[in-house]
Amino acid sequence: MKLHAAAILVIFWLGVLPVHTVEGSASSQSMRKISCVDLSTQQLNIRNLISYEKQQTPVKAIMFITKKGIRICVSPNQKWVQTAMKKIDQKRTTKRR
């Protein structure tokens, strides 16, 4: 009887494992998009910023990405944000040449 129960559990486990793996990888791809909800009010050191992304929803924001990979959301209306975006764009065009 114990062997019969163990065989059923193994068959069940083998049947569930591939389905769980496929669902996990598909759902994790949809979760990769990070969006801003709260905005930081502090000015960041421009030298530590390597990239940015513009966002329109759920709030209008700029998401800066630091050298360490940290993502920080700020209001696009601030003057220092516009300056930082221009400097990042200039670095990108310089590297492409």
pTM, full prediction: 0.62
Asked whether residue 95 falls in the same domain as residue 80, the answer is yes
Interval 7-35: pLDDT, tens: 555 454 444 434 333 444 444 444 457 78
Asked whether residue 59 falls in the same domain as residue 95, the answer is yes
Helix or strand (DSSP H, E) at 64: strand 61-66
Interval 34-79: pLDDT, tens: 788 889 999 999 999 999 999 988 889 999 999 999 999 999 999 9
Give the amino acid at 35: S
Asked whether residue 28 falls in the same domain as residue 42, the answer is no
Q: What is the pLDDT of residue 49?
A: 96
Identify which has the larger pLDDT, 45 or 92: 45
Q: What is the pLDDT of residue 56?
A: 87
Asked whether residue 22 falls in the same domain as residue 51, the answer is no
Asked whether residue 19 falls in the same domain as residue 66, the answer is no
Give the domain range for residue 20: 1-32
Angle value at C-alpha 21, between 18 and 22, nearest 5 degrees = 90
Share of the chain above pLDDT 90, in %: 48
Measured CA to CA, the distance from residue 39 to residue 55 in angstroms comes to 12
Looking up residue 93, the CATH number of its domain turns out to be 2.40.50.40
Determine contact, residues 55/62, Cβ cutoff 8 Å: yes
Measured CA to CA, the distance from residue 95 to residue 79 in angstroms comes to 25
Asked whether residue 21 falls in the same domain as residue 10, the answer is yes
Asked whether residue 27 falls in the same domain as residue 58, the answer is no
Asked whether residue 23 falls in the same domain as residue 49, the answer is no
Structural domains of the chain, count: 2
Asked whether residue 8 falls in the same domain as residue 53, the answer is no
